[in-house]
Structure 1
Amino acid sequence: MSDRDRDPEGRARNARPRDALGRPLPHGAVGEPRAPEGVVREPARSLAEAQQLLDAGRPFHAHEVLEDAWKSCPDDERDLWRGLAQLAVGLTHAARGNATGAATLLGRGVRSLSPATDAAHRHGVDDVGLAAWATRLAAAAEAGRPLDLTPPRLTLGPAR
């Protein structure tokens, strides 16, 4: 019999609290509020929530929102949402000091976004700008240079 944390459907879920970068904390510790998993949101809401989390220094939690979109989107949008989730995880690794993980996930995100131009434009996602941002951050990580952890802007539009 497993003593792993499980959700109501019996799937393994780590119920330990997490810090702002998604690292598990000891049971009983006070952690960051977690985005509920499995929430189906309208694309604009997913992008807005993910942007708010990125701007608050919580890229791991932004990844969870984007992953929900990836799991519930139409087939022709999977590359877009997978790519955005991978970029958020890449930023998470960068913030945690894991340069190798950052470069790997950022590269995957860029590759996932590449075929997603139509879906990106449909939702106002700045796929070109995000790919450029991720490529710069991945190159800095691979070269051992200091990383600019300023979160990217997910959508086209007025500067924030």
Structure 2
Amino acid sequence: MSTAPRRDDSDRDRDRDAEGRARNQRPRDGLGRPLPHGAEGVARQPEGVVRTPGQSLAEAQELLDAGRPFHAHEVFEDAWKSGPGAERALWQGLAQLAVGLTHAARGNPTGGARLLRRGTAAITAWTAESGLDRPYGIRVPELKAWAEALAGRLEREAAPVEAAAEAPRLRASTPG
């Protein structure tokens, strides 16, 4: 039996939120990758924000259009955590699509394709169960076609994509 001393991390400085949970406060780039402390990153999305579905979709669309799908994923994550339980799979699927685009832009085509397909499956299952094919004006059929096409291209070409150029349209129009 090994008697090697255990490392005591209790005095390590860690970024923590108000509840004491560890949070990485390092700055991040536009694709959500951590940068060194002190580097200039992009503004992060605040966590735990309760938005209406329309606000979530509008904010996520702005982030997608700006080439920041990781940050759009955080908006969708807030929606699934704060919204009705019956809609959880819809918002999780949208978050997976955003993370799939993030991985594709970071140069991980395998992970990107996998998450795009997982997100497509989630929104497909949710729409079938709910009987709604355009909840909150979300262009679900077009979004599924976009994700399937991008996943197929990632599997064939295995090359990074430009996130802003590949951003999907979530709704037919975004109300002001």
**TM-score for both structures, normalised by structure 2:** 0.84
- Structure 1 vs Structure 2 CA RMSD: 1.6
Paired with 2:169 and 2:152, the residues of 1 have a C-alpha distance of 19
Q: Which has the higher contact order (CA 8 A, sep 6+)?
A: 2
Q: Deviations over 1:78-131 (max 9, x none)?
A: 111001000000000111111011011101100110122246623111111111
Match of 2:71 in 1: 61
Name the residue aligned to 1:84.
94
Where do 5+ consecutive residues of structure 1 fail to align? none
Aligned pair count?
158
Q: Which structure 2 residue ranges, 5 or more long, are not aligned? A: 1-9
- Shift >6 Å, 4+ stretches: none
Confirm or deny that 1:38 pairs with 2:54: no
Is 2:137 the counterpart of 1:124? yes
- Normalized against structure 1, the TM-score is what? 0.92
- Bigger shift: 144-153 or 91-100? 144-153
Question: Which structure's CA Rg is the greater one?
Answer: 2
Aligned residues with identical type, % of pairs: 62
Check the 8 A contact 2:76/2:95 in 1, yes or no.
yes
User: 2:133, 2:55 → 1: CA distance?
Assistant: 15
**What is the correspondence of 1:88-103 to structure 2 with a 5 Å cutoff?**
88-103=98-113
Indicate which of 14, 24, 30 corresponds to 2:24: 14
Match of 1:52 in 2: 62
Contact 2:32–2:70 (CA under 8 A) maintained in structure 1: yes
Task: Report SS of the residue matched to 1:123.
Answer: helix
Name 1:154's counterpart in structure 2. 170
